[in-house]
Amino acid sequence: MSITISVSNQKGGIGKSTTAYNLGAVLALNHDKKVLLVDIDPQANLSEYLGYEPDGKPTMTQLIMTACTGTVITPETVQIAVRHSEAANVDYIPSDINLANSETMMSTALSRETILRRILSEDNVKGYDFIIIDCLPSLSTLLINALTAADKVLIPVQTQKFSLDGLQALDSLYQQIRSAINPKLSMLGVLPTMVDRTNVSKKALEELHEKYGDMLFETYISKSVEAAKSSESKVPLCMTDSKLGNEYERLAEEVLSRC
Ligand code: ADP
Ligand code: MG
């Protein structure tokens, strides 16, 4: 049985895609896990990081549009949307800008919250240890779909001023989805990202600790240009001798022990 992790926070630019990519890569490269990364952000930063280039084959956009029309999604339909990244040694389903139109299509679809869950069903995506969904930065139907398809949610939080603002809304959505649609959903952990030596960062960490206690990962991700360099060169952080590479390795160990 695979474990599906949704990397979620409705704020943008806080390290979701960087975390989805590098956690996936470290689990695959250092821990021999079979990983599927799923991009559901129309901005497709994760797909780009993975080296995806449009190739005429279906992406997450076509899978969601097909499901919206009521067509049953078969393993064959999903398989042709799955690519492989040599660098990160993971499989992935890319996104593209047209996924932005899916919100409108989903608004009239039957059982619209469960579309992604049906696409990523055990039958359709077999043999993975981890499926990691990289969310878009908004409290949208796509985010609801990710939380409905997931077993666990990982929430990256940038340790800056106002970083805790908005977490209330995400917590409330998480609780609603647990009680109404997906009772097996649980919190994997809250991950402080872009931690630096400033007092602002220190204060945000204290607040996160107060609010989340044990749910906070012991591992913090530091602020470093290594992140941008890694996405530019498309080489996972764990493949370079880097501080962030070590931090993502420690995160993977915590994730494995929490699963
Ligand atoms: P999100 O997916 O939440 O929008 P990204 O992972 O795309 O965020 O990161 C946003 C930007 O910040 C990217 O340019 C990325 O390279 C950079 N970044 C990510 N993690 C870090 C980090 N730990 N330190 C410094 N910059 C980072
Ligand atoms: Mg992103």
163 pLDDT more than 90: no
**Model pLDDT, residue 202:** 95
DSSP structural state of residue 197: S
**Model pLDDT, residue 156:** 98
Q: Would you say the CB of residue 13 lies under 6 angstroms from ligand 1?
A: yes
Distance 101 CA to ligand 2 centre (A): 18
Domain extent at residue 46: 3-258
Question: Which segments of the chain are extended strands (E)?
Answer: 3-7, 35-39, 83-85, 90-93, 130-134, 152-158, 186-193
Rounded to two decimals, what is the model's pTM?
A: 0.98
Burial status of residue 127 (CB atoms within 10 A of its CB: 0-12, 13-18, 19 or more) = exposed
Phi, psi of 194 (to 5 degrees): 55, 40
Looking from the CA of residue 231, the nearest atom of ligand 1 is 16
Looking from the CA of residue 228, the nearest atom of ligand 1 is 16
187 bridge partner residues = 153
213-251, pLDDT tens digit by residue? 999 999 999 999 999 999 999 999 999 999 999 999 999
181 pLDDT more than 90: yes
258 pLDDT more than 90: yes
- CATH value at residue 91: 3.40.50.300
DSSP structural state of residue 74: P
The closest alpha carbon to 211, from 152, 255, 168, belongs to 168
* Count of beta carbons in the 10 Å neighbourhood of residue 85: 22
Cα–Cα distance for residue pair 107/140, rounded to 1 Å:
11
37-62, pLDDT tens digit by residue? 999 999 999 999 999 999 999 999 99
108-142, pLDDT tens digit by residue? 999 999 999 999 999 999 999 999 999 999 999 99
**Model pLDDT, residue 33:** 98
**Model pLDDT, residue 249:** 98
**Model pLDDT, residue 164:** 84
166 pLDDT more than 90: no
CA distances from 236 to 66, 171, 190, 231 (A): 33, 30, 22, 8
CB 166 within 8 A of CB 139: no
Q: Would you say the CB of residue 159 lies under 6 angstroms from ligand 1?
A: no
Number of domains in the chain: 1
